[in-house]
């Protein structure tokens, strides 16, 4: 049960301290702000009494349909969000999957280490670690294995029995790691758009996703044929003219292509058309990109708010070998995505080395990113043996046309996890829980409960 004193401390060692600093109630929801002190490096004996510690923040959400005492007796549902490098959702009312979940659970929304109110990872804070090599070494402790160790540590601090987990996108990757190395902490697992490949180089991920992003481009331009011309016009304009974002840097064609992030969703894809229609404005010197358009693009292509996403992105696929800028290398097999293509396609979530030259927020991390890309001795993120012997009920939504987590690779993983029930659907894209979170959550929970 969570402590009721806003400043009460639990735990007896440097690692293991737990504080609830504030509680609030508004618009049908109740929140509590939890701060946990955890080891930077979790040791096998789970003592956590030596070594450096960091803070991990989590916000508890429950429904005021339950009294405070009733809510404190509900089982926990841990939500692992997408990323890497994404903080937990900040919500102002219960809707979608959270509305469904709050009927039977109190929700723990984790700011994964390095994000949000957890000990932050930003260029300024990383300078405290020392040189690029020291910073890179520090960041090796910010992958799924460490996030899962934090979660399991927090579960024990809270005094919870095995809890339920919902993993979206990268959160699903983390859930597979949880199933691999700490299944004793899990009651049941729900995964949406997040069945990671269990083996193989990162290259196979990008070969699959480049293919799906190309198909999604074609689908989008079939809906909005005028936007095919608009994208090409903007690309050629940027080749010939210097256009600058409000943050001061020049907008390049390849960076403009990053707006393809819109293509990954049901709820966002049509908004791409509204963005493109704002592109040009007439000026005394001829057509230029409008300030309104440039500001919208800046918010899409800057990693100032989540630099960790870019710097550790490919490492989520690193297992025993270097990733070596896999997306950048695989791009050579897909010239239709190159900025100088006759009709360049929009890209997805791939991360390239030039990010660390063109995005001011990432320039200080260029050497760190290079060292992580070259790292050869990544630890395994999954245990195929444990997953093959899994006894935890698992259900996963697999989106047929997902451009971020490939359908075929997802089903390969589903077949390797004993008892995992895949629900394959073409009704949603990667942001399915944003489209019908209530229905998706209810369906997956029903699937895992039906096997008990």
Is residue 247 part of the annotated active site? The answer reads no
**Residue showing tokens 């210097």:** 242
> What fold characterizes domain 9-199+382-450?
Rossmann fold (3.40.50)
Check whether 435 has a pLDDT greater than 80: yes
Residue range 277-301, pLDDT digits in tens = 999 999 999 999 999 999 999 999 9
Alpha-carbon dihedral sign for residues 354, 359, 363, 369: negative
Is-catalytic flag, 261?
Answer: no
Domain edges within the chain: 9-199+382-450, 202-374
| pLDDT 10s digits, 178-224 | 999 999 999 999 999 999 999 989 999 999 999 999 999 999 999 99
The rounded mean pLDDT for the chain is 93
Residue 182: closest CA among 13, 281, 42, 348: 42
Burial class from Cβ neighbours inside 10 Å (0-12, 13-18, 19+) for residue 97 reads buried
pLDDT at 348: 79
- Integer Cα distance of 39 and 46 in angstroms: 10
405 CB-side CA count, 13 A: 34
Cβ neighbours, 10 Å, residue 233: 14
Distance between CA atoms of residues 427 and 167, nearest Å? 19
Tell me the β-bridge partners of 18: 10, 36
| Residue from 378, 375, 320, 325 nearest 200 by CA | 320
pLDDT grade, residue 2 (50/70/90)? very low
% of the chain residues with pLDDT over 70:
95
For residue 9, is pLDDT > 50?
no
Chain CA centroid to CA 196, Å: 12
The active-site residue out of 45, 69, 282, 377 is 377
- Would you place residue 354 in the very low, low, confident or very high pLDDT band (cuts 50, 70, 90)? very high
pLDDT tens digits for range 380-404: 999 999 999 999 999 999 999 999 9
- Cα Rg of the chain, angstroms: 22
Handedness of CA 92, 397, 262, 338 (dihedral sign): positive
Catalytic site includes residue 377 = yes
The mean per-residue pLDDT over the stretch 5-31 comes to: 74
Which tokens hold the place of 306?
Answer: 């989540």
Residue 69 exposure: Cα atoms within 13 Å on the Cβ side: 0
CA distances from 76 to 2, 102, 153, 161, 194 (A): 11, 10, 14, 9, 21
Q: Phi and psi (nearest 5°) for 313?
A: -60, -55
Q: What separation in angstroms does the CA of 260 have from each of 301, 335, 352, 429?
A: 10, 16, 15, 14
- The answer on pLDDT for 12 being more than 60 is no
Give residue-wise pLDDT tens across range 140-183: 999 999 999 999 999 999 999 999 999 999 999 999 999 999 99
* pLDDT at residue number 265: 84
Is the pLDDT at 11 greater than 60? The verdict is no
- The total number of residues written for the chain in this structure: 452
Q: What is the mean pLDDT of residues 53-57?
A: 97
pLDDT > 90: percent of the chain = 91
pLDDT, tens digit (0-9, with 9 covering 90-100), for 225-253: 999 999 999 999 999 999 999 999 999 99
Q: Global pTM?
A: 0.94
* Secondary structure class of 140 (helix, strand, coil): coil
pLDDT in tens, 325-347: 999 999 999 999 999 999 999 99
User: Which of 169, 180, 302, 410 is flagged as catalytic?
Assistant: 169
Joined together, the tokens standing for residue 210 give: 């480049």
Catalytic residue among 34, 315, 430, 431: 430
């Amino acid at each position: 049960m969570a402590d009721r004193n806003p400043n009460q401390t639990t735990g007896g060692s440097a690692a293991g301290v737990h504080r609830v600093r504030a509680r609030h109630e508004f618009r049908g929801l109740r929140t509590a702000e939890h701060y946990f002190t955890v080891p930077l490096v979790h040791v096998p004996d789970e003592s956590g009494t030596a070594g450096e510690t960091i803070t991990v923040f989590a916000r508890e959400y429950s429904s005021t349909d339950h009294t405070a005492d009733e809510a404190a007796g509900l089982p926990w549902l841990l939500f692992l969000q997408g990323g890497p490098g994404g903080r937990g959702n900040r919500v102002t009312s219960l809707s979608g999957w959270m509305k469904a979940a709050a009927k039977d659970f109190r929700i723990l929304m984790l700011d994964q280490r390095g994000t949000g109110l957890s000990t932050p990872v930003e260029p300024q804070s990383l300078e405290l670690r020392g040189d690029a090599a020291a910073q890179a070494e520090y960041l090796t402790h910010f992958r799924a294995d460490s996030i899962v160790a934090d979660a399991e540590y927090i579960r024990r601090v809270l005094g919870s029995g095995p809890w339920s987990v919902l993993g979206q996108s990268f959160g699903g990757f983390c859930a597979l790691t949880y199933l691999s190395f700490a299944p004793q902490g899990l009651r049941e697992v729900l995964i949406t758009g997040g069945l990671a490949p269990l083996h193989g180089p990162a290259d196979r991920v990008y070969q699959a996703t480049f293919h799906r992003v190309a198909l999604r481009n074609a689908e989008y331009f079939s809906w909005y044929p005028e936007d095919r011309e608009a994208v090409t016009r903007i690309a050629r304009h940027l080749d010939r003219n210097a256009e600058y974002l409000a943050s001061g840097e020049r907008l390049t064609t390849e960076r403009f292509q990053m707006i393809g992030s819109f293509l990954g969703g049901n709820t966002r894809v049509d908004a791409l058309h509204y963005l493109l229609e704002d592109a040009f404005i007439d000026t005394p010197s001829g057509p230029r990109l409008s300030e309104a358009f440039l500001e919208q693009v800046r918010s899409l292509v800057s990693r100032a708010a989540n630099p960790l996403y870019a710097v550790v992105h490919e490492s989520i696929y690193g297992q025993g070998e270097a990733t070596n800028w896999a997306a950048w290398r695989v791009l050579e097999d897909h010239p239709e995505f190159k900025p100088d293509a006759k009709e360049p396609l929009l890209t997805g979530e791939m991360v390239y080395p030039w990010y660390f030259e063109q995005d001011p927020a990432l320039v200080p991390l260029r050497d760190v990113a290079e060292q992580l890309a070259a790292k050869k001795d990544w630890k395994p993120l999954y245990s195929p043996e444990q997953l093959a012997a899994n006894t935890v009920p698992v259900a996963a939504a697999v989106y047929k046309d997902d451009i971020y987590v490939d359908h075929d690779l997802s089903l390969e993983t589903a077949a390797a996890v004993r008892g995992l029930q895949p629900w394959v659907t073409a009704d949603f894209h990667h942001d399915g829980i944003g489209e019908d979170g209530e229905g998706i959550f209810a369906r997956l929970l029903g699937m895992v409960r039906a096997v008990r």
